[in-house]
Amino acid sequence: MVPFLLPFFEWSDNSFLGAWIRSKTWVFPVIETVHILALTVLLAGIIVIDLRLMGLMMRRMTVSGLTRELKPFINWSIAIILTTGAALYSSEALKCFDNPAFWFKMTFLFLALIFQFTLYRSTTKTEQTTPGKGWTVGILSLILWFAVGWGGRGIGFI
């Protein structure tokens, strides 16, 4: 919990979008469904690339070729996840402020996005990578993204 952010959380909770989502019984579940479907598409792409990085599947295809094929799905999924996540957050921002699972998720989301667009991107662009680097990047990617999902799952239970 970061006390100086409380005014932002209050503003978010009182926003038109947050109030509108709370006022309709069907909107939150629809947004959450799209959010989870996008997370599923993201994780599917990430898992396939990570397993290829680790040399556990699709060995005849290059990592860079596989990444090129899956990149649009991954990028669109991230965009949808961030958009729907912001909407979900705005509808229950004050609840999120005191929720340790929310802060866990946001921490790992921040780390996963930085990792995704730096080391992961540079590693998956190359035609060849060393087995040690492939395993390290693949495992770290899986840990970060599954931590995001685990934190998200915990938000509703805490």
Query: For residue range 140-156, what is the model confidence (pLDDT) as tens digits?
Result: 999 999 999 999 999 98
CA atoms of 14 and 12, how far apart (whole Å): 5
Asked if 144 and 111 count as a contact pair (C-beta separation under 8 A), the reply is yes
Cβ contact 52:63 at 8 Å: yes
Q: Which of 39, 15, 7 is nearest to 153 (CA)?
A: 39
- Whole-number Cα distances in Å, 133 to 55, 151, 154: 11, 27, 31
Q: How confident is the model at residue 130 (pLDDT cuts 50, 70, 90)?
A: confident
Nearest to 133 by CA among 75, 57, 42, 50: 50
137 residue type, one letter: V
pLDDT over threshold 70, residue 1 = no
For 21-70, how does the pLDDT look when each residue is reduced to its tens digit (9 = 90+)?
Answer: 999 999 999 999 999 999 999 999 999 999 999 999 988 889 999 999 99
pLDDT value, residue 2? 79
Per-residue pLDDT tens for 65-121? 999 999 999 999 999 999 999 999 999 999 999 999 999 999 999 999 999 999 999
**How many whole angstroms separate alpha carbon 26 and alpha carbon 96?**
20
Q: How far is CA 31 from the centre of its chain?
A: 15
pTM metric for this prediction: 0.89
